[in-house]
Amino acid sequence: MIIDDKQLKQTREQLAQLEEDLISLQREVYPINPDRFHLMAEAYIDHIMELRKQIDEYVGIKIYQDKLGGVWLRLTGPSIQLGTASASILANTIENFRKSIRSIAAILKGEVPYRKGGVSKEVEKSCDLVIIGLMPGSMRVGLGLPPERQPDLFTKEEDPAIRAINTFMEVAFWVSALEVSPELPSSIANLPSKDYVLRQVMNIAPSKKLPIDTIEFSGTLVHLPKLPILTKESRSRLHDVIAKEKGAEYMEAIGTIREIDLDYLKFYLRERPQNEPQLHCEVNEEMIDDAKAALGERVKVDGSAKRDVSGRITLLKVKTLEILTED
């Protein structure tokens, strides 16, 4: 991190030297052995990108970007760099964030986003965020409202997307604390669909399936004392809050979803490990689309178990559902 002009000058000199070394490497090695060049150049390029990022932050480019009326998502991970990161990772992150904000906005307006036609045109339009910038290094993408919907001093009614972003950030900030408070954020504490909102944030948090370590949120639409940072641990914390109901017997199970009953919101979990018997599972209306998408798939489900008088488990009230992928 650059803290004064002297360090800025030193960093620029260091950057110039690295760029000259990379040019020499390209001229001398690439014509003879392109594969060897790419292998040797990787460390140089990573260092160059990091120094450029530090210079941009010191001279004020980051501050300018943050003022462009939106939310900036900064992704970090072993291969999250321009030139190495998969396009699908960035595209999926942007789309999942947009969908989460849309779903939260609908819930806050009393709509039912998990039903067909349950999201109003107002919410759909409000949450159609635009890309306001892309920064290299640990990848940063900015999403915001289009110019005609930017808030001003004369705006009387809060835009649904802004309200949803505020709620999302409060949950992300709450779950990224060193010690998570047992009390839910005030913005969702009394919502009937609070688990649904928690799932929207959990869906954005890094998972074991992707090479993303953290997602940091900043920008003019993030009004918090510290920047929220979602990690794999954040995802695990949200999962536990949703799945582990107080006073209920927690259970998790693996198997294949068969025979979904859409009328009664139930399905059978079959082909379980060690020839365990099929498990009768129940989901709430908020999760039925997840269950339908997982029909015939190998999944892990968890939630609250129900037993009969003999002690046999007769039903699992599913709180979370995850499609398993082969390693």
Spans of the chain, pLDDT less than 70: 62, 64-69, 81-84, 136-138, 147, 150-157, 326-327
Amino acid 155: pLDDT: 57
Amino acid 61: pLDDT: 73
How large is the C-alpha radius of gyration of the chain?
Answer: 24
Q: What is the pLDDT of residues 195-229, one digit of tens each?
A: 999 999 999 999 888 888 899 998 888 989 889 99
Amino acid 71: pLDDT: 92
Cβ contacts of 72 within 8 Å, gap of 6 or more: 65, 66, 133, 140, 141, 142, 143, 217, 218, 219
Contact 230, 133 (CB under 8 A): no
Location of structure tokens 């365990």: 276
> Distances from the Cα of 278 to the Cαs of 14, 258, 291, 321, in angstroms?
63, 10, 16, 16
Amino acid 305: pLDDT: 96
- With CA atoms as reference, report the closest residue to 239 among 229, 250, 228: 250
Amino acid 157: pLDDT: 57
Q: What is the pLDDT of residues 141-154, one digit of tens each?
A: 889 887 677 666 55
**What is the Cα–Cα distance from 209 to 207, expressed in whole angstroms?**
5
Model pTM? 0.78
> Distances from the Cα of 202 to the Cαs of 3, 219, 237, 300, in angstroms?
36, 21, 9, 16
